[in-house]
Amino acid sequence: MDEDNKTEPDASGTPSWHPNAPEWAPPTAEAPLSSPASAPAPVVPSTQPMPGQPSHYAPPQQGTTQQEYSQHESRPYGGGQYGVGTAPAPMPTYRSWQPGIIALRPLSFGDFMSAPFKAMRFNRSVVLGGPLLFTLLATVLSVTALWLLVNDPQLGLTSVTAVGSGIEATTVIVGILAIVTTLLASVLSSVIVAPGVARAVLGERITLRTAWDQVRRKFGHILLLYVVTAVAIGVMVMLATLPLIFGIGSNETVWIVLGIVLMLIILGPATFVVAMITGLAQPIVVLEQIGAFAALGRAWRLVKGRFWWSVLIVFVSSALIYIATAMVQGGGQLIATLGLAVAPESGVVQFIAFFVIYGLAIVIALVVTYAYMGSLFTLLYTDMRMRHEGFDLDLARAAEARGRR
Average pLDDT on 216-245 reads 88
Q: Is residue 40 part of a domain?
A: no
6 with 151, same domain?
no
In terms of domains, do 223 and 321 share one?
A: yes
Say which residues have a Cβ less than 8 Å from residue 303's Cβ, sequence separation at least 6. 276, 277, 280, 310, 384
- Structurally, how many domains does the chain consist of? 2
Task: Judge if 378 and 318 occupy the same domain.
Answer: yes
The answer to whether 298 touches 284, Cβ cutoff 8 Å, is yes
Residue 44 lies in a domain: no
**124 lies in the same domain as 189:** yes
- Whether residue 129 sits in one domain with residue 28: no
**Cβ distance 381 to 284 under 8 Å?**
yes
Of the pLDDT bands very low, low, confident and very high (cuts 50, 70, 90), residue 343 is low
Residues 164 and 213 in one domain: yes
Cα separation of 394 and 92, whole Å? 10
Q: Which residue has the higher pLDDT, 130 or 400?
A: 130
In a domain, 240, yes or no: no
The mean per-residue pLDDT over the stretch 347-374 comes to 82
- Flag whether 289 is in a domain: yes
Same-domain status, 82 and 199: no
pLDDT tens digits, 150-206? 776 666 555 555 555 567 777 788 888 888 888 888 889 989 999 999 999 989 999
Q: What percent of the chain has pLDDT over 90?
A: 35
Q: Which of 29-43, 203-217, 218-232, 315-329 has the lowest mean pLDDT?
A: 29-43
Tell me, yes or no, whether 317 and 203 share the same domain: yes
Residue 349 domain-assigned (yes or no): yes
Residue 40 has pLDDT above 50, yes or no: no
Binned at pLDDT 50, 70 and 90, residue 392 comes out as: confident
Q: Chain-centre distance of CA 219, in angstroms?
A: 15
Q: Is the distance from CB of 101 to CB of 200 less than 8 angstroms?
A: yes
pLDDT at 165: 59
Q: Are residues 73 and 190 in the same domain?
A: no
Q: Which is higher by pLDDT, 222 or 154?
A: 222
Is pLDDT larger for residue 251 or for residue 288? 288
The pLDDT of residue 383 is above 90: yes
Question: How distant, in Å, are the alpha carbons of 74, 297, 301, 314, 363 from that of 78?
Answer: 12, 13, 14, 23, 34
**φ/ψ bin of 25: left (φ > 0), alpha (ψ from -120 to 50), beta (otherwise):** beta
Q: How confident is the model at residue 2 (pLDDT cuts 50, 70, 90)?
A: very low
% of the chain with per-residue pLDDT over 70: 69
Poorest-confidence range of 7-16, 225-234, 368-377, 384-393?
A: 7-16
Any residues with CB less than 8 A from the CB of 174 and at least 6 apart, and which? 141, 144, 145, 148
Question: Shortest CA distance to 71 belongs to which of 57, 82, 87?
Answer: 82
Would you state the pLDDT for residue 266?
74
Q: Is the pLDDT of residue 310 over 70?
A: yes
Residues in the chain, how many? Answer: 405
CA dihedral (158, 161, 162, 163) positive or negative: positive
Same domain, 194 and 343: yes
Q: What is the mean pLDDT of residues 369-390?
A: 94
pLDDT at residue 33 tops 50: no
- pLDDT (tens digit per residue) in 124-156: 999 999 999 998 888 888 878 877 777 766 665
Distance CA 343, CA 349 (A): 7
List 24's β-bridge partners, or say none: 17
**Axis-axis angle for helices 271-288, 359-389 (nearest 10):** 80
Q: Is residue 238 part of a domain?
A: no
Report in angstroms the alpha-carbon separations of 38 from 314, 329, 382, 399.
47, 63, 33, 23
SS3 letters across the chain: CCHHHCCCCCCCCCCCECCCCCCECCCCCCCCCCCHHHCCCCCCCCCCCCCCCCCCCCCCCCCCCHHHHHHHHCCCCCCCCCCCCCCCCCCCCHHHHCCCCCCCCCCCHHHHHHHHHHHHHHCHHHHCHHHHHHHHHHHHHHHHHHHHHHCCCCCCCCCCCCCCCCCCHHHHHHHHHHHHHHHHHHHHHHHCHHHHHHHHHCCCCCCHHHHHHHHHHCHHHHHHHHHHHHHHHHHHHHHHHHHHHHHHHHCCHHHHHHHHHHHHHHHHHHHHHHHHHHHHHHHHHHHHCCCHHHHHHHHHHHHCCCHHHHHHHHHHHHHHHHHHHHHHHHHHHHHHHHHHHHCCCCHHHHHHHHHHHHHHHHHHHHHHHHHHHHHHHHHHHHHHHHHHHCHHHHHHHHHHHHHHC
Q: Which residue has the higher pLDDT, 349 or 52?
A: 349
Q: Are 36 and 59 in contact (CB under 8 A)?
A: yes
Question: What confidence tens digit (pLDDT) does each residue in 48-102 have?
Answer: 444 433 333 333 344 444 343 334 343 434 443 333 444 555 555 655 678 889 9
Measured between alpha carbons, how far is 69 from 62 in angstroms, rounded to an integer?
Answer: 11
Q: Does one domain contain both 191 and 74?
A: no
Instruction: Write down the mean pLDDT value for the chain.
Output: 75
User: Does any domain span residue 310?
Assistant: yes
Least confident of 96-105, 197-206, 351-360, 365-374: 351-360
* pLDDT given for residue 52 in this prediction: 39
Identify the weakest region by mean pLDDT among 63-72, 262-271, 319-328.
Answer: 63-72
Residues 120 and 64 in one domain: no
Residue 221 has pLDDT above 80, yes or no: yes
In a domain, 213, yes or no: yes
> Residue 223 sits in which domain range?
109-229+282-394
Q: What is the pLDDT confidence band of residue 34, given thresholds at 50, 70 and 90? A: very low
Q: What amino acid is encoded at 28 in this protein?
A: T
Amino acid 139: pLDDT: 81
Say how far apart CA 320 and CA 322 lie, in whole Å.
Answer: 5
